[in-house]
Each structure stands twice: as structure tokens, then as C-alpha cells.
């Protein structure tokens, strides 16, 4: 089978003369400097790198891992793999809080699954002392490591024309929030369909300017913030995640000073930016051009969104820019999203009466303007309607379709849906593929044609006939305790044959402890529960910021977490 990436590669043939990919330079100066690579320069790099790949005997369909700095280096390498007929496999760079041993173990497992012919690296990655294990891992996998500079040198006298690939175009790994990251083979048809659906949903053109701090290797950062704007040849402002963490105002300045119009982020990104930004630093900025702010990758926090909108409102930010969305790597990226004509809505649900297979007891419906920063209820936010070419249904445990308003598993089909995982079927996978349908392992319901995602099945418990979800416990606990949702992680499972709920709070002990008892007793229906405090960074997280609940539960059960119990209650 021959896959065609023609639409995604058209820009290499006809690059935009003026627009560019800009990367933030590291500097202590208040005025930030952006290094620009025009699409003309990028197109030339793609051709030269592709010629180098062919000089290294890359055959159509061979897999090529990309371990490169975000921005032009990563973009040039990935598109070069496609231009040479290969399959791109983006790999993550190390993150600040991740121990080197854990990082290299993760890379080793990804390389073992991908079985690449080559691994492309930036010179900086190879020169980094932490990059030393890469050569050994590559040898063990039968792959060669080659720098971009070496590829360029090898490609100077080679053919620059495009070679069509065969089979899979991209292998992207899941976030790993529910277990080890799994390799998802994405075809050119999957990729082209999702990029087209995203462009149609968001109305992205070459006049749009995207600003992103998300890692390039995972679905939202890759497809949403790289492939879509590159296909449209719009300007892109690229920051590394650690640059965003150090100074989120630099990211905000992309919109307020440089006229960026589009971004995507989990809720915690908007919340973090608001918490770390004094209004005085926004003086002189104008956010009126900002028209798209996608919110995804985790449960949408209405308090976080309302707080961010409130901070920027005096500087002409329109909260209508927010586009809550739902997606997953197994569907390439996006499945649903809020359309401009739909209100930013959320529902108040009586979760103590909620049960799979039954109508969801909705008690109230609200719009964004009704959310208070210190709201008294954890609203569940709409993730919008299915994108073009995507079908979404809610099914029961036997995969039979349920009527609107009924709680069940989210099932997806359409051109963007992949066909399984690479290699052997992973253990403990709640996501499953049956024919052309993807059963996501996420529970939710449809209300007035819009999808509301409640929680992950594998992270929940059945308590007294009702479904209890980690995400819901976190949301309600955070509201009752007056804490940021990003500081609270709920873990549900069985210890010693007894059901237990644990909440780890990455904050000092305070008045919130008193509120914790009442809310946990109410939510957990009397099962054994405990509250722990811990230093920031105790709970392992994915690079997109989601808690790795399965890994955390194993550490909790083994007594290997740096936590202190502040409250415990046995089964009633």
C-alpha cells in the first residue's frame, strides 16, 4: 500500500516567502529575541536532509526516530523523513523533573517498539552528557544514530526529489497517563484527515500566527501546534516547556505584542500563566487578535479558564476564543471541539446519583460568564461537537449504543481513527479497537449534541452501584479545599483486597484538611480513604502534565512515595 502525504508536503514545493518558524532564544534580558527560519529555508533543509537520509540507504517505509530540538530542527527532520519516503517517529526530550534513568528507560522502550532504521538527532542532543546512553540503545536496536549536520553533509550531492512512502507515515506514542506509552501507527490518510478537520474547525490560514510551548513529539503539540500551522504556512512562535515555566509572560507576549492568534494547552497551562503573571507586566499588550485558545489533554477546569480570562480581559482578550476539545493519540488527535457558534457551556451533575447506563442527573447548565474563580461546584465542561469526518457515540459495556444523556463509554470512528497499536498488544489497555471503531476507555455522555467527558474507566471504582472517577474526586476535592486542581491527585484502587481512595495534595497542611474529610466521605460512599501531603513533583506526570495514576498507585502500594498521611478513615 502506498500512502500519500501530498497535502501535508505541498509547502516544501511552494514555500511562503515571508512567514517563518521562530524560536525563543535563552536570555536574561527583558526583551525577548526570536530566531527566525523562513519556510523557504525550512524547505531547503527538508530536501537536503532527505537526500542525506537516502545517502544513508533509507528505504521507503523505514522508520526514522526524531530526537531534535523543538522548532526548525525538529520540523526539518520530521518532514525530511517523509520527503525521503520514511515513517517519522518523534521521541521526547528530557524534562527538568524527570530522573535520567527513568527518561532513558522510556526512550529504550520506545525504540524497542519502533524498531527504527535511523535515529536523527540535533548536535546539541548528542553533545549533552545525558545523551551518552543513546548510542548503546541504538546499537541494541540495530539502528544508526546520525546528526542533522552529518545528514546535510551527506546530502549535498544527492537527489532532492520526493520519494513516496509505504504503509505507516507516523508512529506517535500515547502520553502514558494510564501505563507505559504505547506506539500508535498513524497512516497518511489518518494524518491528512485530522489536519484537514482541524484546519476547517479552527479556520486556520497562512495569516494565523501560532504560539506554542507544548512538546513537539506528542499529539496535541505535534498535530495541533506543528503540522496544522506548517501545512497552512503560518508564522509559528516556539518555546520549550521549561522556557514557559520560567516565564509564561514570554508566551503571553507572543499574543499581546506579536499578534499571535492561535494556541493549544491543557487547563493547567492557562492556570499557571495566570498565577505567575502580574497585571502590570501586561501593560501595553493587546490581546484582541487572539481568536483561538484550544483547551484539551485533560479535564477542563472552568475555574482555571475563568481566572485566565479575567486576568486578560482588561487587555481586550475575548473569552470566546476558548475552544475546549477532546482527543487522543489513537484518533491521531482531535475528536470533538467547541465551534464558534456554540456557547462555552458546563453542567452541574449530581454525581452521587450518576451510574453507567443510566441518564445523567443534570441539575443546572451554565455558560463561561457564570463561572466564578472560586466557584462552589466542579462543573463538567462541554468538549464540543464531533469534527468533520468523525462520528462519536456513547456505548454500554457490550458496545451497544446508548441514547443521548446516558453515561457510558465514548466510542469514535472516522478517517482519523487508527487501527491499533504497534507491536504486541499492551497490557492493561482500556482503549480498544474493534473493526473501524475505537472504544476510548473514557466515560462520558452527550448533551444537546455536545460531548462531556467524565473520566477514565481504568482510574475509577464502582461504589454502591455508582461510578466513581478519579477526575471527579480531584475536581470536587479541589473546590471544597480551595486548592488548585493541579495540586490534587486522586488515586482509586484496591489495597489488600479492600477498596480505597487516596488523595495526594502537593501543598503544605492548612485549613483545607478539615474540608477534605467531609467531601471525601460524601464522594467515596464510605469506603476507606486517606489524604496525604507531599512536596511538589511527587506524583509522576506525563510531559503534557497529566498525573500517571497507575504508576502513582503502584508507588503508593509499595510505600515508595514521599508522602505524609494527614487524615485516614476506615470503611464505615
- The predicted pLDDT at position 31 comes to 66
Q: What is the mean pLDDT of residues 327-331?
A: 93
pLDDT tens string 368-383: 765 554 445 678 889 9
Cell of 545: 502534565
User: Is 3.30.450.20 the CATH number for 6-187+221-227?
Assistant: no
Euclidean distance between CA atoms 471 and 273, whole angstroms: 22
- The predicted pLDDT at position 427 comes to 56
256 pLDDT more than 70 = yes
Q: What is the mean pLDDT of residues 418-445?
A: 82
Euclidean distance between CA atoms 525 and 504, whole angstroms: 19
**What is the percentage of the chain residues whose pLDDT exceeds 90?**
49
The CATH code for residues 464-569 is 3.30.300.30
Q: What is the mean pLDDT of residues 193-220?
A: 94
Q: Which residue did the predictor score with more confidence, 513 or 77?
A: 77
pLDDT tens string 62-74: 999 999 999 999 9
β-pairing, 209-212 with 235-238? parallel
The residues near 44 (Cβ < 8 Å, ≥ 6 apart) are none
CA 127 to chain centre: 28
Residue 457 DSSP class: G
pLDDT tens string 24-74: 998 766 667 899 999 999 999 999 999 999 999 999 999 999 999 999 999
106 pLDDT more than 50 = yes
Q: Which residue did the predictor score with more confidence, 561 or 485?
A: 561
Using CA atoms, how far residue 492 sits from 179, 489, 534, in Å, is 15, 10, 18
**What is the percentage of the chain residues whose pLDDT exceeds 70?**
90
Banded model confidence at residue 206, pLDDT cuts 50, 70, 90: very high
Domain 331-459, what architecture? Roll (2.30)
Q: Which residue did the predictor score with more confidence, 464 or 469?
A: 469
Q: What is the mean pLDDT of residues 276-285?
A: 93
Query: Average model confidence (pLDDT) for the chain?
Result: 86
Banded model confidence at residue 446, pLDDT cuts 50, 70, 90: very high
- The predicted pLDDT at position 1 comes to 41
Banded model confidence at residue 205, pLDDT cuts 50, 70, 90: very high
Closest among 182, 78, 161, 170 to 121, alpha carbons compared: 78
pLDDT tens string 350-373: 877 788 888 998 988 887 765 554
N-term to C-term CA, the chain: 60
pLDDT tens string 494-512: 766 677 778 888 888 877 7
Q: Whole-prediction pTM value?
A: 0.88
- The predicted pLDDT at position 374 comes to 42
Q: What is the mean pLDDT of residues 179-185?
A: 80
Which helix H or strand E contains 309, and what residues bound it? Answer: helix 302-312
- The predicted pLDDT at position 373 comes to 46
475 pLDDT more than 70 = yes
Cell numbers 451533575: residue = 349
H, E, C per residue of 19-85: CEEEEECCCCCCCCCEEEEEHHHHHHHHHHHHHHHHHCCCCCCCEEEEECCCCHHHHHHHHHHHHCC
Cell of 328: 487522543
236 pLDDT more than 80 = yes
- The predicted pLDDT at position 30 comes to 63
546 pLDDT more than 80 = no
Q: Which residue did the predictor score with more confidence, 476 or 395?
A: 395
pLDDT tens string 311-320: 999 999 998 8
- The predicted pLDDT at position 11 comes to 96
Q: Where are the domains of the chain?
A: 6-187+221-227, 331-459, 464-569
- The predicted pLDDT at position 294 comes to 95
- The predicted pLDDT at position 230 comes to 97
- The predicted pLDDT at position 210 comes to 97
Lowest mean pLDDT among 91-95, 176-180, 409-413: 176-180
- The predicted pLDDT at position 365 comes to 85
- The predicted pLDDT at position 301 comes to 79
pLDDT tens string 111-152: 999 999 999 998 776 655 555 688 888 888 899 999 999 999
DSSP assignment string, 226-268: IIHHHHHT-EEEE--HHHHHH-HHHHHHHHHTT---EEEE-HH
- The predicted pLDDT at position 180 comes to 67
Helix then strand then coil, % of the chain, to nearest 5 = 35, 25, 40
Amino acid at each position: 500500500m502506498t500512502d500519500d502525504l501530498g497535502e501535508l508536503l505541498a509547502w516544501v514545493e511552494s514555500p511562503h516567502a515571508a512567514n517563518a518558524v521562530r524560536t525563543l532564544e535563552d536570555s536574561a534580558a527583558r526583551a525577548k529575541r526570536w530566531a527566525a527560519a523562513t519556510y523557504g529555508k525550512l524547505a531547503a533543509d527538508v530536501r537536503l536532509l532527505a537526500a542525506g537520509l537516502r545517502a544513508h540507504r533509507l528505504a521507503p517505509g523505514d522508520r526514522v526516530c526524531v530526537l531534535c530540538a523543538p522548532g526548525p530542527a525538529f520540523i526539518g527532520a520530521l518532514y525530511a523523513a517523509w520527503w525521503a519516503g520514511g515513517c517519522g517517529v518523534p521521541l521526547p526530550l528530557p524534562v527538568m523533573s524527570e530522573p535520567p534513568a527513568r527518561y532513558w528507560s522510556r526512550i529504550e522502550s520506545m525504540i524497542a517498539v519502533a524498531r527504527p532504521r535511523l535515529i536523527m538527532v540535533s548536535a546539541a542532543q548528542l553533545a549533552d552528557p545525558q545523551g551518552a546512553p543513546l548510542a548503546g540503545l541504538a546499537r541494541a536496536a540495530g539502528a544508526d544514530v546520525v546528526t542533522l549536520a552529518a545528514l546535510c553533509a551527506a546530502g549535498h550531492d544527492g537527489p532532492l526529489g520526493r520519494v513516496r512512502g509505504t504503509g505507516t507515515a507516523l508512529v506517535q506514542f500515547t502520553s502514558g497517563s494510564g501505563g507505559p506509552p504505547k506506539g500508535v501507527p498513524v497512516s497518511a490518510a489518518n494524518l491528512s484527515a485530522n489536519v484537514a478537520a482541524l484546519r476547517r474547525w479552527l479556520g486556520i490560514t497562512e495569516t494565523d500566527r501560532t504560539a506554542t510551548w507544548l512538546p513537539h513529539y506528542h499529539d496535541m503539540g505535534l498535530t495541533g501546534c506543528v503540522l496544522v500551522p506548517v501545512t497552512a504556512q503560518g508564522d509559528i512562535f516556539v518555546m520549550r516547556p521549561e522556557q514557559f515555566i520560567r516565564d509564561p509572560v514570554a508566551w503571553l507576549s507572543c499574543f499581546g505584542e506579536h499578534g499571535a492568534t492561535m494556541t493549544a494547552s491543557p487547563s493547567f497551562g492557562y492556570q499557571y500563566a495566570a498565577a505567575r503573571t502580574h497585571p502590570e507586566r501586561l501593560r501595553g499588550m493587546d490581546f484582541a487578535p487572539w481568536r483561538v485558545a484550544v483547551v484539551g489533554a485533560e479535564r477542563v477546569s472552568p475555574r482555571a479558564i475563568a481566572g485566565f480570562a479575567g486576568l486578560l480581559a482588561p487587555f481586550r482578550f475575548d473569552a470566546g476564543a476558548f475552544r475546549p476539545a477532546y482527543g487522543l493519540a489513537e484518533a491521531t488527535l482531535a475528536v470533538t471541539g467547541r465551534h464558534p457558534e456554540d456557547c462555552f457551556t458546563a453542567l452541574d451533575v449530581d454525581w452521587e446519583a450518576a451510574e453507567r447506563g443510566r441518564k445523567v442527573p443534570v441539575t443546572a447548565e451554565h455558560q463561561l460568564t457564570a463561572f466564578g474563580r472560586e466557584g462552589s461546584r466542579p462543573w463538567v465542561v462541554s468538549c464540543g461537537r464531533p469534527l468533520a469526518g468523525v462520528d462519536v457515540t456513547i456505548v454500554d459495556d457490550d458496545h451497544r449504543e446508548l441514547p443521548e444523556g446516558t453515561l457510558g463509554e465514548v466510542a469514535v470512528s472516522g478517517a482519523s481513527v487508527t487501527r491499533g497499536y504497534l507491536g504486541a498488544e499492551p497490557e492493561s489497555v482500556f482503549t480498544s479497537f474493534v473493526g473501524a471503531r475505537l472504544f476510548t476507555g473514557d466515560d462520558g455522555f452527550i448533551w444537546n449534541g455536545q460531548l462531556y467527558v467524565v473520566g477514565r474507566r481504568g482510574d475509577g471504582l464502582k461504589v454502591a452501584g455508582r461510578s466513581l472517577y478519579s477526575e471527579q474526586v480531584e475536581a470536587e476535592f479541589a473546590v471544597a479545599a480551595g486548592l488548585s486542581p493541579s495540586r490534587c491527585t486522586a488515586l482509586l484502587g484496591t489495597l489488600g483486597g479492600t477498596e480505597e481512595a487516596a488523595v495526594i495534595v502537593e501543598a503544605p497542611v492548612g485549613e483545607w484538611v478539615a474540608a477534605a474529610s467531609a467531601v471525601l466521605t460524601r464522594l467515596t460512599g464510605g469506603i476507606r480513604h486517606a489524604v496525604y501531603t507531599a512536596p511538589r513533583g511527587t506524583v509522576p506526570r506525563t510531559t503534557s502534565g497529566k498525573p500517571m495514576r497507575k504508576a502513582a498507585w503502584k508507588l503508593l502500594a509499595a510505600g515508595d512515595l514521599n508522602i505524609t498521611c494527614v487524615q485516614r478513615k476506615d470503611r464505615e
